[in-house]
Amino acid sequence: MTTGTAIVINPAGLHARPAATFAAAAAKFKATVKVKNLDSSSEAVSAKSIVRVLTLSAGCGTKIEISADGDAEQTAVETLVGLVESGFGGE
């Protein structure tokens, strides 16, 4: 299992469009990919589900943990951390 952390910098947080982008990127990997809001007591959820990602209530400044287990887990984590750290392309 590989894990990484990132701070949500998108001003609107992980709202609908960034959550959809995040879930679509996670779905490209065969590995099991999960994401967790480290600033709350929430549990890790499937990063491949837009609905689950939205339940994290990850606003701007929220620290999240991304974990992957399986094929290309390192690449999955690096890709998703990079996506979050890029602000989802300024969406």
pLDDT digits (tens, 9 = 90+) for 8-41: 999 989 999 999 999 999 999 999 999 999 999 8
The residues with which 46 forms a beta bridge, in sequence order, are: 34
Residue 57, token pair as written in the block: 């209530």
pLDDT for 42? 86
Q: Biggest alpha carbon distance in the chain?
A: 32
Read off the pTM: 0.94
Q: Which helix (H) or strand (E) holds 54?
A: helix 50-54
Q: Distance (Å, rounded) from C-alpha 86 to C-alpha 82?
A: 6
Hey, which residues are catalytic here? Answer: 15
| Angle, helices 16-27/73-85, rounded to nearest 10 degrees | 160
